[in-house]
Structure 1
Amino acid sequence: MMDALLWVLSGLLIVAGVAGTVLPALPGTALVLAGILLGAWIDDFTRIGWLAVTSVSILAVASWVLDYIAGLIGARRAGASRLAVIGAAIGTVAGIFMGFVGVLFLPLVGAAVGEWLARRDQQRAMRVGIATWVGLMVGMVAKVALAFVMIGVFVVALLV
């Protein structure tokens, strides 16, 4: 009975983690990793061994690094100011409260407003906002892909 509840918790953590890959309020791949680690622990690391756990952990770390770097690369490529990066961060947090559309587009707005406040150039502000947004979206897509690879490693280890 207890194992069944723990497996349900493992599954819920993984599902919440997948949601967290697109919702900045949830630590996406960290929750996926927690669910996988719980699943491995429940099974006493017999089917989901240390190789799978290590592989999934490396993928989780890669996801965190990629998520951080992707937005910065987009912003830096467009020559974003410090205010643009801060604006994108504020837009990301504000987007949480605006639903899925807010999560998708408020980072762009925040970066553009921050750049406009820094340099008062509307065209540059839009270019920086779009470049920052593209970087964030590339990071989000990569995070989702890595989360599914993590889940794939878990499922294969569980079934083989």
Structure 2
Amino acid sequence: MFSLGLVIAILFFIAGMAGIFLPILPGAPLIVLGMVAYGLIEGFTNLTWQFFLGQLILMAFVFGIDYLAGMWGVRRYGGSNTAVWGSVIGALVGLFILGPLGIILGPFLGAVGGELIAKGNLQLAVRAGMGTLLGFLGGALLKLILQILMIIWFFSTIY
């Protein structure tokens, strides 16, 4: 049965899942916020502090993946610290200049630019950029899995 609390929670879950590919949306926090909204409306029946502690731990893992996946990709493919910083700056700038396409192109171009500055070798720079893309895609997959687990846990707890 759908209640107002459940409808609101589901809307937050949808926005949270969109946050996997749109970094402007805080994915996992939106999912947790949906659970809190449900709890407030429905009186926190079945949603214990242990449930929320577990959800916060999963949310922390999602944040960790966000920060580490791109760095891992750059490092795995031989990129320097400058390439890592370039990918971070590229992600922010790319999102604002290129919109959704900038989420992918920004970190790639930033890593390439950073590596060119650091080592001046185009082949190494492109390789670092590819590492950023692979890190982003791998991280997105891991975030997708964790956020789906968060939502499944919610539904298995309330039903």
- The TM-score normalised by the length of structure 1 is 0.86
Identity %: 35
Give the corresponding residue for 2:125: 125
Q: Give the partner amino acid of 2:83.
A: A
Q: Give the partner amino acid of 1:94.
A: V
Q: CA deviation at 1:17?
A: 1.1
The runs of 5 or more residues in structure 2 that have no matched partner are none
Give the corresponding residue for 2:46: 47
Q: Give the partner amino acid of 1:41.
A: L
Q: Is the 8 A contact 1:20 1:26 kept in 2?
A: yes
Q: CA deviation at 1:70?
A: 1.4
Rounded to whole Å, the distance in 2 between the matches of 1:105 and 1:94 is: 10
Give the corresponding residue for 2:108: 108
Rounded to whole Å, the distance in 2 between the matches of 1:137 and 1:105 is: 12
Q: Would you say 1:156 and 2:134 are equivalent positions?
A: no
Rounded to whole Å, the distance in 2 between the matches of 1:139 and 1:104 is: 13
Q: Is the 8 A contact 2:78 2:127 kept in 1?
A: no
Rounded to whole Å, the distance in 2 between the matches of 1:124 and 1:76 is: 12
Rounded to whole Å, the distance in 2 between the matches of 1:46 and 1:12 is: 20
Q: Give the partner amino acid of 1:89.
A: V
Q: Give the partner amino acid of 1:30.
A: P
Q: Give the partner amino acid of 2:46.
A: R
The runs of 5 or more residues in structure 1 that have no matched partner are none
- Ranked by relative contact order (alpha carbons within 8 Å, sequence separation 6 or more), the top structure is 1
Q: Is the 8 A contact 2:77 2:127 kept in 1?
A: yes
Q: Is the 8 A contact 2:84 2:114 kept in 1?
A: yes
CA deviation vs aligned residue, 1:59-86 (integer Å, no higher than 9, x gap): 1111111221111122222332222112
Task: Compare 122-131 and 71-80 and name the one that shifted more.
Answer: 71-80
Q: Give the partner amino acid of 2:157.
A: A
Q: Is the 8 A contact 1:49 1:157 kept in 2?
A: no
CA deviation vs aligned residue, 1:74-125 (integer Å, no higher than 9, x gap): 2222332222112111221133232333212321111011101221101110
Q: CA deviation at 1:147?
A: 1.1
Rounded to whole Å, the distance in 1 between the matches of 2:36 and 2:144 is: 19
Query: SS at the partner of 1:68?
Result: helix
Rounded to whole Å, the distance in 2 between the matches of 1:156 and 1:40 is: 14
Task: State the aligned residue count.
Answer: 156
Give the corresponding residue for 2:72: 73
Calculate the aligned-residue CA RMSD, in Å: 1.9
